[in-house]
Copies of this chain bind each other. A is one copy, B any other.
Amino acid sequence: MREDINEKCAVVGIFNHEEASKLAYFSLHALQHRGQEAAGISSGDGKRLHTIKDRGLVTQVFNEEKLETLKGHMAIGHTRYSTAGDDSILDAQPVHANYDLGQLSIVHNGNLTNHQEIRQELIKQGAIFQSSMDTENLIHLIARSEKEKLKDRIVDAVKKIEGAFSLVFLSRSKMFAMRDRFGFRPLSLGKVGDGYVVASETCAFDLIGAEYIREVEPGEMLIFEKGKAPQSIKVYDATPKHCIFEYVYFARPDSQVYGQNVYQKRKNMGMELAKEQPVEADMIVPVPDGGVPSAIGYAQESGIPFEMGIMRNHYIGRTFIEPTQEMRDLKVKMKLSPITDLIKGKRIIVIDDSIVRGTTSRRIIRMLKEAGASEVHMRISSPPTTNPCYYGVDTPDKDKLIAANMSTQEISDYIGADSLAFLSNDALMRSVNSKGEEYCTACFTGEYIV
């Protein structure tokens, strides 16, 4: 039910498989939750690269005929969440170009914080930019590097950029995977048949029958070349600061990200939340689907029964028909409905993963109250979201973030809850830290790394 905070994209790369573009297609399908605006694949057969990209879901952009034109044993792919209002076909990825070493295709998950500076510098040197994507910088930097080998040029280029990037490159004969030193955005390595796969989340591995090997390390570049094992180059010393919001909301619960399972982390958050923010009630109800694992955790820890008191409707479609005056909160009600009989007269703890603008929470609580709930206590399995993200997540401006502008009590009043509480940052860290990992929590704390 989050419509106000979004992962910007997903990347995938397949190397040494005779149906590489088909595997990329299904991987992107598994990663569709990370971006529904556009999709694209570049493939390579050792001689030249082929690229198809367009607006739409993966299943809309590709068909059998198109996949067949994407020949070759290696392929990279991308799904994209649209941010700008502009007609955005030119901002779809992969970005591909001809340059002095031949052909190059790139897919990128993340956001370059020094994007504008680099762009202005490049433009000053005579470069032209045909899209508004920060990714376009990378090709220019590689094309302008004076190194002879592509791998050295990539190192040159990434040393100039700052911010968050999980990148996969395809050249005529090789594939490269690279992650920024902080490992902001996830990227995992797997084995499929005799080949390899890298992907933003491991749910892609599960669908295509690949086996998880390990994370691509922060600061690491992997080079895939025919007939050789993947070569690892440490471009930077790793200083991990993984994006905590992957665990809070973005990633699929069945995925591993940063080497650990998402569902378990969310359940931990619910348990910690029950410890920190207990309240007497008759039942725990999640806001589906985001709140489900933490609600289960909260229920197990508190002993209060878990109930699927709000159902999610699977036949939404798009409607442009205006409601009548009897029909309040139509937009939410078309997606979510309360089990009135279950809720009537009951004290409810409703669990959600986060509050961004507060409008959806307000509608949900009104809906539960209208269904007869005697009390509605909202518990959020993450701290107040008080700061925008600069590392690849699409967040509203600070003045739209309700927690940046109101106290918890004020928010509680605004959304009409009988009480409201958030998970503390410490408790969040306890939920996700099994081996001392470090996370970027700037959206909660304002402590930006770069």
A contact set with B: CB distance below 8 Å: 17, 19, 22-23, 25-26, 29-30, 32-33, 36, 50-52, 54, 57-60, 62-64, 66-67, 69, 86-87, 89-90, 95-100, 119, 123-124, 126-130, 139-140, 143-144, 192-193, 203, 206-210, 252-254, 256, 260-261, 263-264, 289, 292-293, 296, 299-300, 305-308, 311-315, 317-324, 326-328, 330, 333-334, 337-342
Other contacts beyond A33-B315, A50-B86, A306-B306: 15, CB < 8 A: A17-B324, A22-B322, A33-B314, A59-B317, A64-B320, A90-B90, A98-B128, A99-B126, A100-B123, A206-B333, A254-B339, A263-B341, A289-B311, A289-B314, A314-B314
* Other-chain contact of A143, B126, B263, B264, B341 (Cβ < 8 Å): B126
Given A66-B87, A305-B300, A317-B59, CB of A254 within 8 Å of CB of B338: yes
* Other-chain contact of A321, B26, B96, B340, B342 (Cβ < 8 Å): B26
For A342, list chain B residues within 8 Å (CB).
261, 263-264
Task: Judge whether A341 and B256 touch: CB under 8 Å.
Answer: yes
Given A208-B324, A315-B33, CB of A99 within 8 Å of CB of B128: yes
Quote the shortest CB–CB distance from A48 to chain B (angstroms).
11
* Other-chain contact of A87, B52, B126, B308 (Cβ < 8 Å): B52
Task: Judge whether B253 and A308 touch: CB under 8 Å.
Answer: yes
Task: Judge whether A308 and B327 touch: CB under 8 Å.
Answer: no
Quote the shortest CB–CB distance from A62 to chain B (angstroms).
7
Which residue on chain B has the smallest CB distance to residue A123?
Answer: B100
For A126, list chain B residues within 8 Å (CB).
99-100, 127, 140, 143-144
Which residue on chain B has the smallest CB distance to residue A79?
Answer: B315
For A99, list chain B residues within 8 Å (CB).
123, 126-129
Task: Judge whether A206 and B320 touch: CB under 8 Å.
Answer: no
Task: Judge whether B144 and A327 touch: CB under 8 Å.
Answer: no
* Other-chain contact of A128, B52, B54, B63, B143 (Cβ < 8 Å): B143
For A328, list chain B residues within 8 Å (CB).
209
For A292, list chain B residues within 8 Å (CB).
308
For A319, list chain B residues within 8 Å (CB).
29, 59
Task: Judge whether B323 and A26 touch: CB under 8 Å.
Answer: yes
For A315, list chain B residues within 8 Å (CB).
29, 32-33, 36, 57
* Other-chain contact of A334, B98, B130, B207, B313 (Cβ < 8 Å): B207
Quote the shortest CB–CB distance from A148 to chain B (angstroms).
14
Quote the shortest CB–CB distance from A255 to chain B (angstroms).
9
Given A29-B315, A140-B128, A296-B307, CB of A22 within 8 Å of CB of B339: no
Quote the shortest CB–CB distance from A50 to chain B (angstroms).
8
Q: How far apart are the CA atoms of A448 and B327 in the complex, in Å?
A: 41
Task: Judge whether A337 and B54 touch: CB under 8 Å.
Answer: no
For A206, list chain B residues within 8 Å (CB).
333, 337, 340
For A209, list chain B residues within 8 Å (CB).
324, 326-328
Task: Judge whether B26 and A327 touch: CB under 8 Å.
Answer: yes
Which residue on chain B has the smallest CB distance to residue A34?
Answer: B315
